[in-house]
Structure 1
Amino acid sequence: MNRIGVFGANGRMGRALLEVISQDNNCQLSAFCRTGSDLIGFDLGPTTMGAKGPILLKSEQNINHNEIDVLIDFTLASGLKNHLADAVKNKTAMVIGTTGLTENEMLALEQASKTIPIVFARNFSVGINVLLSLVKTAATTLDENIDIEIFEAHHRNKIDAPSGTALAIGEAIADAKGWQHDKVAKFDRSSDEVAKTQNEIGYSVLRAGDIVGEHTAYFATMGERLELTHKASSRITFAQGAVRAAAWLKNKPPGLYTMQDVLSLHD
């Protein structure tokens, strides 16, 4: 039995996680919301597909770590800091999908992974993680004289831009090419007065409506263009990947893992 706790269970991603976990007979669920929320004690069971009973929202301040194997966190960075500290104190494994982390927040995550096992990914979709492998192949196989661009689209409320997933795609390409991503990433050409070079990765962003997530990596040269695209139509796909990661992470030694590890997609 995989005993999973979900932070931010009343949010959009949290609800998707509850649905996936509730339909898995090999999972035991605990649902948490922020301390002080008016929703503490609210029953999400009747609104969750697959729920076989009540799902009472508990305060994240009252976690019984003896009843949980893995905590899943897709909340904001401000909440992750406390969640991570509490998990380290109680030696509880974590699956983390929070995006937009600063360099210092990433360092804190790496430090925590010396004590507990953590799966961190900017995108838990299995399809996206296959895409990360495909862009590496494209980057190392196609002609050197090629233009590389990344386009991403999300809903109007997404804050970080480019998305963490778009950056992960760019970082995978840069790694395959032997480039330092921060030196080749191009986020704004509005002040450029010269033609682009083939030693850069351009990013384009769209925010509109309720788009769940679309990402395309373009590899273009004279006469041909390769487009590798992933489109998500539901947050369920991210939730399924996160729950898969939680099952995989159970009883793993401390360390910082990725979905590439979970899916055995490493070179």
Structure 2
Amino acid sequence: MISINNSSPLLRIAVTGITGRMGKKIIEYFLIKKNKQLSKKIILGAAIVRKNSSICGIDIGTFNKINEFGVKITDNLELIKDDFDTLIDFTAPDISIQYLNFCVKNNKSIVIGTTGFKQQHKNIIRNASKTIGVMYSANFSIGIALILKILHKITKIIGNNADISIIETHHNKKRDIPSGTAIMMQDLIRDTLQSIQTNKSINYNLKKRMYPSKQKNIIYDIPIHSIRIGNVVGEHTVLFNILGERLEITHKADDRAIFAYGALCAAIWLGCNKKGLFEIHDIL
């Protein structure tokens, strides 16, 4: 059990975008209690929707057609700022930045799973992490976190002698192309190849990717091929082709519940006392 504050041993979570794909999945963990271990460490403190939503004021349990839960849906952060410790956000870049600024102002931790950020957004996230705890990742799958570690090792061994490509497939409603996860993989592979060329070891982490390099680095061609079709949750494959053989590293997500679980685990790990910029592999 983690001690979060003086009044409660549980970490109080606020969830934004509760009518979206990820928001719904995260809320399910509280309403259905899918994971008993998580239930012992967190409670739902607030359920947040876009401004002027017609569902404001409805109990989150009633809205999801189960028993009344005791948390009213709201679009007013000021009204519920004392009801949560950590906010989990999977919305859109500009909206995420608004929530981030609120968290900085009110000393709340934040877990950000939104993708498609531009560099100016990343600069704001980086600066916010000097004041509060920020967990930011393009993918909250524990499997992806492990694959990133594997890709680093494979690239060190055969990267210089292989043709490398990335294929990513998502549902046809996904806005950002390529996916944030594919870019994360591309950055890791490029940084690893760069470290081999310069004989310098790298500690691959989020801060490195958030700070654009001013050095003249070699640009390695690691193409990303994006497919948008049907309702695919997410698939990523990295191909290493060397003479006469091909190695494929693949991750397939069949249910968004894995991202919800990862985000909640990240929120528990982050708590409300840490400060700095973190990503999902930090909790492994």
- TM bracket (short chain): 0.7 to 0.9
Question: Structure 1 28/200 Cα, relative in aligned 2: closer, same or farther at 3 Å?
Answer: same
Distance in 2 of aligned mates of 1:11 and 1:50: 19
Report matched runs for 1:192-211 at 5 Å.
Answer: 199-211=220-232
Map of 1:28 onto structure 2: 43
Identity %: 36
Distance in 1 of aligned mates of 2:130 and 2:65: 37
8 Å Cα contact 2:236-2:252 kept in structure 1: yes
Query: TM (normalized to structure 1)?
Result: 0.87
Show CA shifts across 1:166-211 (max 9, x none): 00111111122126999777xxxxxxxxxxxxx4201101001100
Question: Structure 1 50/247 Cα, relative in aligned 2: closer, same or farther at 3 Å?
Answer: farther
Map of 2:253 onto structure 1: 232
Map of 1:71 onto structure 2: 87
Counterpart selection for 1:92 from 98, 108, 115: 108
Counterpart selection for 1:241 from 247, 259, 262: 262
8 Å Cα contact 2:59-2:68 kept in structure 1: no
Map of 1:221 onto structure 2: 242
Show CA shifts across 1:221-248 (max 9, x none): 1111110000001110000000000000
8 Å Cα contact 2:18-2:48 kept in structure 1: yes
Matched residue SS, 1:142: helix
Matched residue SS, 2:74: strand
8 Å Cα contact 1:18-1:48 kept in structure 2: no
| Aligned alpha-carbon RMSD (Å) | 2.2
Map of 2:20 onto structure 1: 11
Matched residue SS, 1:19: helix
Query: TM (normalized to structure 2)?
Result: 0.82
Stretches (4+) displaced over 3 A: 46-52, 60-63, 179-185
Give the number of aligned pairs.
Answer: 250
Report matched runs for 1:25-64 at 5 Å.
Answer: 25-29=40-44, 30-46=46-62, 48=64, 53-64=69-80
Distance in 1 of aligned mates of 2:93 and 2:150: 30
Distance in 2 of aligned mates of 1:184 and 1:74: 34
Distance in 2 of aligned mates of 1:170 and 1:184: 14
8 Å Cα contact 2:160-2:193 kept in structure 1: no
Map of 2:133 onto structure 1: 117
Question: Which ranges of structure 2 fall in alignment gaps of 5 or more residues?
Answer: 1-9, 34-38, 196-207
Map of 1:104 onto structure 2: 120
8 Å Cα contact 1:216-1:228 kept in structure 2: yes
Distance in 1 of aligned mates of 2:117 and 2:159: 34
